[in-house]
Amino acid sequence: MEENFEAGFPTEVVKEGEVRVLVPKLEAFVKSPSDYAPSKAPVFYNPVMELNRDVAVLALQAYQRMVDRELSVCEPLAGCGVRGIRFAKEVVGVEKVVVNDINGKAVQLAKYNVELNGLGGKVVVQNLDANFLLGSYAAPRKRFDAIDIDPFGSPAPYLDSALRALRDGGLLSLTATDLASLCGVYPKACRRKYGGKPLRTEYCHELAVRLLAGCLATSAAKHDIGVKIVFSHSTDHYIRVYATTEYGAKKADKTLENMGYVMHCFKCLHREPVKGFYLFDVSKKCSACQAKMDFAGPLWIGKIVDKEFCKLMEEELVRRSFRLKGRIEKILKLIESEAEAPITYYTINKLCSMLGLPVASVKKVLRILKRSGYSAFLTHFNSQGIKTNASNLALQTFLLYKQKSQLKS
């Protein structure tokens, strides 16, 4: 079959999960070392996002088990269609998948890949603007059970149309790859797209997740929809948020109770969450060192992982033979363990650098904190990170006074 298809550009067949797909041969489009091959190809395909798609399969299967019904799924920014095709092939209970792309070449490639995997009766390929497509499914009884938005950049332009096209109790999955704006390199872009102020801190990737979740919550509230964040992760060059929805103004009001700010002291690294949308004292002094504090937000200060949903994903992973299974298992275990942890994290290398100390062993710091009666968790956001209810001052004291005797690697 492959020999009968003429894409008009170099292609190759790759295997991912349980499917085989024809994709652009990326090395053919690289002319200099600085070229980002996926964006240079006529059809967008990024092999680095295989883990993202693996986790999306696990999340969709966990959701299907949770609601116990047949699912209709939409991928409005499909590229070559690999994500939607994997949903149709690998997730039990998926009845129909609509994959869409505005790029005509992508649509032809996606149609070919649907047939290559024998899914012509389950996967529909469309060639429309993503928001126009989602708008056409906004009427009751036409809406999707799950929508997965995986753009090149920000998902913000698609939130309103996706929320309108998602049924009550549906699953919305979002990828954001514009971490430079979410992590504070381009704060104006973050304010435009996500309606919140970022901060360039050591825990900026968690703030990025919370800014995206907050943007989703406020967008949903405009439509009298509440959201529950069931899973999120920060991996490689992107963040990912999964949320279920609930119709109703009261549900939306309840959701907005999870909005707030994070105050941060750049002098001593103290931080604290502030609940609520409303004005607060931005000139507040740091309670630890009395320096002026900065802030991030408004953003989501509620839970960013549901422990039971994460466990369902772990159960599903056991049944899979993903190429990246080992790495995904480690990520899921870390995320489950930190599900109930306090907001934000400290990085031991940053603290040690500030104190002029050699970098301590993260696991030994963790053990000492637990022995001293504090809660302490490793985090998937950063290999040097620890989430704890110990104060910044207490953590620095541990590092200063126990470095020589207990923290040497």
Domain extents for the chain? 46-300, 345-409
- Residue 261 is predicted with a pLDDT of 96
CA end-to-end span of the chain, whole Å?
Answer: 57
User: Taking 70 as the threshold, does the pLDDT of residue 143 lie above it?
Assistant: yes
Using the predicted structure, report yes or no on whether residue 409 has a pLDDT greater than 50: no
The CA–CA distances, whole Å, from 13 to 2, 47, 82, 109, 263 equal 8, 12, 11, 11, 49
CATH C-level class of 345-409? alpha beta
- Altogether, the residues listed in the chain come to a count of 409
The encoded tokens of residue 243 equal 């949320």
Cis peptide before 298 (omega within 30 of 0): yes
Q: What is the mean pLDDT of residues 249-275?
A: 96
**With contact defined as beta carbons under 8 Å apart, do 21 and 14 qualify?**
yes
Q: What is the model's pTM?
A: 0.96
Which pLDDT belongs to residue 279? 66
Give percent of the chain with pLDDT exceeding 90: 87
Position with higher pLDDT, 283 vs 331: 331
Strands (E), 306-389: 346-347, 376-379, 382-388
- The whole-number average pLDDT for the span 183-207 is 98
Tokens found for residue 157: 């332009």
Nearest to 211 by CA among 266, 170, 262: 262
Residue-wise burial string across 7-40, b where 16 or more C-beta atoms lie within 10 A, e elsewhere: beeebeebebbebebbbbbbeebeeeeeeebbee
Query: Which residue is it, tokens 């500030």?
Result: 354
Mean pLDDT on 156-176: 98
Q: How high is the pLDDT of residue 32?
A: 80
- Band of the pLDDT at 284, cuts 50, 70, 90? confident
- C-beta separation of 40 from 62 below 8 A: no
Over residues 376-389, mean pLDDT? 97
Segment 302-318, tens digit of pLDDT = 999 999 999 999 999 99
Structure tokens at 282: 């931005």
- CATH pick for 46-300 out of 3.30.1300.10, 3.40.309.10, 3.40.50.150, 3.40.630.30: 3.40.50.150
More confident residue, 137 or 355: 137
pLDDT in tens, 3-20: 467 888 999 999 999 999
Q: Are 254 and 234 in contact (CB under 8 A)?
A: no
Q: How many CB atoms lie within 10 A of CB 298?
A: 25
Q: What backbone phi and psi angles, to 5 degrees, belong to 266?
A: -80, -10
- Highest mean pLDDT (candidates 238-252, 269-283, 342-356): 238-252
pLDDT at 408: 52
Q: What does the pLDDT read at residue 268?
A: 93
Whether the pLDDT of residue 403 is over 80: the answer is: no
pLDDT for 156 beyond 60? yes
Confidence band of 399 (pLDDT split at 50, 70, 90): confident
Q: Percent of the chain, pLDDT > 70?
A: 97
Q: Identify the helix (H) or strand (E) that includes residue 170.
A: strand 166-176
